[in-house]
């Protein structure tokens, strides 16, 4: 993993940012995206002067097509973009609740469709699943559907494009800014309680998940794999 062209979609914070930082530190050419251009540019600059920050919303298929038609190809693409929705199935409007699911599935498929002929032979896509695939909890049904769909993409696309590898990383609870909005002032207390239930007694860092993503990119014999980085959380 040196001198490769790597695109991190949703790379302005959390796991995506950690992947961009790690890929850059290994001597690769890194481009990261955010739905907000100023945030993408600021994050890219904070990582390194040669890192490029661009705007992209993968929920807009037309925008995705324009994005990939306007830039050169890549060796590896990691899709970190994704959100979650907490609430009962009967709350609110179904199509609004499913937006987070659509980002994981339709957004990722839009990226593959637009980028598949602009990625190097032997290159790879890495999707983001999650522990909610194996350990669903009440109120997080959207997350469970979304992470399961993202992980399944790593399997079903393998035979569609044999010259490209498809894999997924499946993080457990990870210390990222996503929890700030979801858990509020109880964030640290709740994550500490979760950590004590894990066999490893700790919450994963973004860097630990990022190292798994870089492994999936770099190992040319890993294909159709879902790599769990959850401290054994799916087993307890």
pLDDT (tens digit per residue) in 128-139: 999 999 998 898
The one-character DSSP state at 74 is E
At 109 the pLDDT is 97
Q: What is the pLDDT of residue 184?
A: 74
Alpha helices, DSSP H, located in 126-186: 141-156, 178-183
Please report the pLDDT score of residue 97 as a whole number: 85
Are the CB atoms for 32 and 44 separated by under 8 Å? Answer: yes
Decide if 76 contacts 217 (C-beta within 8 A): yes
Please, what's the largest Cα pairwise distance for the chain? Answer: 49
pLDDT for residue 175 = 85
Torsion of CA 194, 200, 203, 209, to 10 degrees: -140
Residue 55 is predicted with a pLDDT of: 98
Residue 198 is predicted with a pLDDT of: 94
CB atoms inside a 10 Å sphere around CB 221:
6
* Residue 86 pLDDT: 80
Q: What is the mean pLDDT of each run of 10 residues along the chain (236 residues)?
A: 96 96 98 97 98 97 97 95 80 87 94 96 96 91 94 96 96 82 78 92 95 98 97 93
Which pLDDT does position 62 carry in this prediction? Answer: 97
The residue among 129, 36, 152 whose CA lies nearest residue 78 is 129
Question: Which pLDDT value is given to residue 211?
Answer: 98
Question: What local confidence, expressed as pLDDT, does residue 191 receive?
Answer: 87
Q: What is the pTM of this model?
A: 0.94
| pLDDT score at 81 | 82
Q: Which of 35, 8, 18 is nearest to 171 (CA)?
A: 18
């Amino acid at each position: 993993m040196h001198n490769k062209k790597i695109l991190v979609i949703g790379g302005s914070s959390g796991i995506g940012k950690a992947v961009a930082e790690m890929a850059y530190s290994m001597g690769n050419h890194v481009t990261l995206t955010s739905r907000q251009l100023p945030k993408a540019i600021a994050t890219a600059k904070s990582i390194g002067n040669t890192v490029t920050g661009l705007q992209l919303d993968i929920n807009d298929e037309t925008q995705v097509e324009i994005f990939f038609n306007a830039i050169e190809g890549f060796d590896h693409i990691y899709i970190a973009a994704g959100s979650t929705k907490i609430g009962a199935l009967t709350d609110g409007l179904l199509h609004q609740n499913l937006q987070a699911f659509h980002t994981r599935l339709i957004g990722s498929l839009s990226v593959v469709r637009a980028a598949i002929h602009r990625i190097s032979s032997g290159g790879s896509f890495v999707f983001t699943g999650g522990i909610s695939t194996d350990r669903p909890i009440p109120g997080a049904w959207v997350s469970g559907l979304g992470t399961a769909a993202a992980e399944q993409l790593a399997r079903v696309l393998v035979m569609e494009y044999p010259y490209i590898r498809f894999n997924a990383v499946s993080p457990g609870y990870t210390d990222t800014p996503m929890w700030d909005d979801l858990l509020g002032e109880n964030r640290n207390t709740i994550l500490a309680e979760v950590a004590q239930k894990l066999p490893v007694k700790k919450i994963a860092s973004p860097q630990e998940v990022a190292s798994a993503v870089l492994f999936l990119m770099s190992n040319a014999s890993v294909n159709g794999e879902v790599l769990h980085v959850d401290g054994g959380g799916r087993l307890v």
